[in-house]
Structure 1
Amino acid sequence: MPGLEHTAIIAATPERVWAVVVDVERWPERIPTVDSVERLDDGPLAVGSRTRLQQPRLPEAVWTVTEMVDGSSYTWESRSPGVTVTASHVVAPHPDGSRLTLALTVSGPMSGAGWLMTRSLTRRYVETEAAAIKQAAESATT
């Protein structure tokens, strides 16, 4: 299954990093690879929560949370014809604060061709997202 993983060490508590990661409504102001976010349900992010996400140069996608360990990780997936994209966000304690791991896999009959076309863009986006989350978590403002 094609995919990638990126880890960043963040000089902030896991609670602070987690707060930034799950505050998806603020991603467009914090993360330059996110144009718009629309939560499709009320309340905090939880299993079953759906979020419409628009990113530059990618089709709009609806992401559904499939797994959640409150305070430390969540996984969500987006489905389109022939492709399922699964993305995980994991926050763990680290001697210097926190370790953020972002991972993404693609599966389905069309995943190989799709991955070939989007792999380098996706890698840049994941690296940019980790850096933006790091910056937001390390800043004094929430």
Structure 2
Amino acid sequence: MRFEATTEIAADAEQVWAVLVDVERWPEWTASVSRVERGEPGPLAVGATATLTQPKLRPAVWRVTELTEGREFTWVSDTPGVRTRGEHRLLPQPDGRTRVELAIVQSGLLAGLVGRLYGGLLRRYVGLEAEGLQRRCERS
């Protein structure tokens, strides 16, 4: 199951990246996350973890598996029967704007069931994240 949202932000990729990787501050700009606790100090990097608390979902530990500085990061959260991958990609545009592509991808034995039960919520949350990121970056 894959849930996606895209947006264009009237800000350069460097500014958008700074907001995006400051995951502890996500609750300030997206209603899809109520609390974030980093597992370790310092900048977001491969292997870094964060526990996200989201309305209507159990807290989940996310671990960064891929990161290209200033452009994209992917993290995963595993629960019995389901692996959830969060993708965050920035694409600088020629006019100075930044296209943001966000996705939640679920795989595993129970992914289909979880997708049917929570698909609407996950689709809504990835949309809220895109909208909130745009508002935060364009406000700055």
Instruction: Give your verdict on TM over 0.5.
Output: yes
Separation (CA, whole Å) in 1 of partners of 2:32 and 2:59 = 13
Q: CA deviation at 1:82?
A: 0.6
Q: CA deviation at 1:31?
A: 1.1
Q: Does 1:5 align with 2:4?
A: yes
Name the count of aligned residue pairs: 139
RMSD, aligned CA:
0.8
**Residue 117 (structure 1) aligns with:** 117
Q: Which runs of 4+ in 1 moved over 3 A?
A: none
Residue type of the alignment partner of 1:49: A
Secondary structure of 2:4's counterpart equals strand
Question: Can you list the C-alpha shifts for 1:82-123, whole angstroms capped at 9, x where unaligned?
Answer: 100001100111144000000111011111101100101111
**Residue 36 (structure 2) aligns with:** 37
Secondary structure of 1:5's counterpart equals strand
**Residue 46 (structure 1) aligns with:** 45
Separation (CA, whole Å) in 2 of partners of 1:29 and 1:19 = 14
Secondary structure of 1:42's counterpart equals coil
TM-score normalised per structure 2: 0.97
Residue type of the alignment partner of 1:64: R
Q: CA deviation at 1:32?
A: 1.1
| Unaligned stretches of 5+ residues in structure 1 | none
TM-score normalised per structure 1: 0.95
Q: CA deviation at 1:132?
A: 0.3
Separation (CA, whole Å) in 1 of partners of 2:32 and 2:106 = 19
Q: Does 1:100 align with 2:100?
A: yes
Secondary structure of 1:109's counterpart equals coil
Residue type of the alignment partner of 2:50: T
